[in-house]
Amino acid sequence: GSGSKKGTKTGGTGSTTNPPPPPKPSTYDGFGFDDNANKVWDELDRYIENRYPNDANKQASLNQMAKALQAGVKAGNAKDDSAAQSARAAISKANYCLLERMGSVEVMNKESSSLEVEMLKSGANRSKAYQEFNALLSGGFYGSDQRENPCE
């Protein structure tokens, strides 16, 4: 016997020891994950894809609304009046896009409300920030000039 050999081989398996891969940067923004980097929280992506699996136009209109609702959450969390007004305008524009793509006010309202409920399911911090967003807008009357080319 000549003693043990030095090297990276382990036990008799023939495998080598590799360091673990570096962790991926987190896509969590304080309210949700966006692992595919499309600016829509992942659970809302799944909801939208499951809702309209074969209709890219309807998915795109719901993605636009999801981004607008998320902007509202972030504005409320920051207690930022200017960001709240921008988010409100984006939500209005997204509603016009939903109306255009869904074909009726009834379906637009249903889809917008359902997406909002889905968004609010994921955590108290989201709900609290969204309530704050709505509080920032309270007392105002808002018209909209978002009817022309509403879909992004």
For 31-42, the pLDDT digits (tens) are 999 999 999 999
φ, ψ at 9 (rounded to 5°)? -65, 145
pLDDT at position 12 is 53
Task: Provide mean pLDDT across the span 64-74.
Answer: 98
Q: Is the pTM higher than 0.85?
A: no
Q: Which tokens hold the place of 2?
A: 């000549």
- Rounded to the nearest integer, the mean pLDDT of the chain is 88
The DSSP bridge partners found for residue 16 are 9
In this model, does residue 133 exceed pLDDT 70?
yes
> What is the torsional sign of CA 41, 45, 48, 51?
negative
* pLDDT > 70 fraction of the chain, expressed in percent and rounded: 85
Task: Provide mean pLDDT across the span 49-53.
Answer: 97
